[in-house]
Copies of this chain bind each other. A is one copy, B any other.
Amino acid sequence: MKKLRRSARLVDMTQHLLAHPHTLIPLTLFSEEYGAAKSSISEDLSIIKEAFETQGVGVLKTVAGAAGGVKFIPRVNMEQATHFMRELIGHLEKPERLLPGGYLYMSDILGNPGTLANIGKLFATAFADKDVEVVMTVETKGIPLAYATAAYLNVPVVIVRRDNKVTEGSVVSINYVSGSSKRIQTMSLARRALAEQSRVLIVDDFMKAGGTIQGMIDLLQEFRATVVGCGVLVETADVSERLVEEYISLAKLQDVDLKGKQIEIELGSYFASEGE
């Protein structure tokens, strides 16, 4: 009977922790919910902790004291991350993905929930210690990545619009120069969409010169926000002048041979820095 209770507790605590990442859960919440002693809950948590670490799900952090509890931090280890990204790069290198302008067709990849979850977890791992309060991206293709990342960080998403026809009250708009095409474009964000002085993680699917991301950084200055990180899925290597300095990429497009229909992609800067 007692054994059954522990089993059911383990299942429920596991699903609760997974559904509430980066959230401090007081042990009393569990002990009241299951009518169990705190010592039993602690034992349960050490079982879950070990299983999560063995399987690469993430880590459980215990915070001691009166305001203490347990916090689940989703974390992908380097081996899992490398394996996943090498597989994804294999898909990305298929010649039929080549689009005019040296872009890659990635909508199918950005539409797959399993792939997105892996990418989101990877970004959440990379920026786990940055006290991210908001994940920001610009419409359209970066949106799923932003949500996947935000789900693992348990923070809201803010989406910058590419026009200024936003009917959401007072709006801040800036013009920016797209680094690769050199065209002047507009991006906007409703004033009420972002609290002043937020700590913001910028996420996007593709970066060439970085004009779009620099535009977001400029826009964030209007909100007196702090950019705590930039993460892009794919960056291109052949850029004469990179506008953005600090970012991580998960993959780097080394070479595109439009005639020969060859694409060469390597692991991005995230793997270089962490691998040292």
Task: State the A residues within 8 Å of B (CB).
Answer: 3-4, 6-8, 10-12, 14-15, 18-19, 47-48, 50-52, 54-55, 57, 99-101, 103, 105, 107-108, 111-114, 116-117, 139-140, 143-144, 147-148, 150-151, 154-159, 161, 167-169, 190, 192-193
Between-chain CB contacts (< 8 Å), 6 pairs? A8-B51, A10-B11, A105-B169, A108-B156, A139-B139, A144-B157
Q: Shortest beta-carbon distance, A238 to chain B, in Å?
A: 19
Q: Shortest beta-carbon distance, A183 to chain B, in Å?
A: 12
Do A107 and B15 have beta carbons less than 8 Å apart?
no
- A3's partner among B3, B55, B101, B144 (CB-CB below 8 A) is B3
Q: Shortest beta-carbon distance, A168 to chain B, in Å?
A: 6
A150 (CB) vs chain B CBs: closest residue: B113
Q: How far is the CA of A144 from the CA of B51 in the complex (A)?
A: 31
Q: Shortest beta-carbon distance, A215 to chain B, in Å?
A: 17
Q: Shortest beta-carbon distance, A59 to chain B, in Å?
A: 14
Known: A48-B11, A143-B140. A113 touches B154 (CB 8 A): yes
Q: Shortest beta-carbon distance, A80 to chain B, in Å?
A: 13
16 further A-B pairs in the complex, CB-CB below 8 A; given A111-B150, A113-B154: A4-B47, A10-B10, A11-B14, A11-B48, A11-B51, A11-B52, A14-B15, A15-B18, A15-B55, A18-B18, A105-B190, A108-B156, A111-B156, A113-B151, A114-B154, A147-B147
- Kindly list chain B residues whose C-beta atoms are within 8 Å of the C-beta of A51: 7-8, 11-12
Known: A11-B14, A57-B15. A147 touches B150 (CB 8 A): no
Do B50 and A8 have beta carbons less than 8 Å apart?
yes
A55 (CB) vs chain B CBs: closest residue: B12
- Kindly list chain B residues whose C-beta atoms are within 8 Å of the C-beta of A147: 113, 116, 144, 147-148
Q: Shortest beta-carbon distance, A33 to chain B, in Å?
A: 10
Q: How far is the CA of A111 from the CA of B113 in the complex (A)?
A: 17
A154 (CB) vs chain B CBs: closest residue: B113
A23 (CB) vs chain B CBs: closest residue: B114
Q: Shortest beta-carbon distance, A121 to chain B, in Å?
A: 10
Do A156 and B113 have beta carbons less than 8 Å apart?
yes
- Kindly list chain B residues whose C-beta atoms are within 8 Å of the C-beta of A144: 143, 147, 157
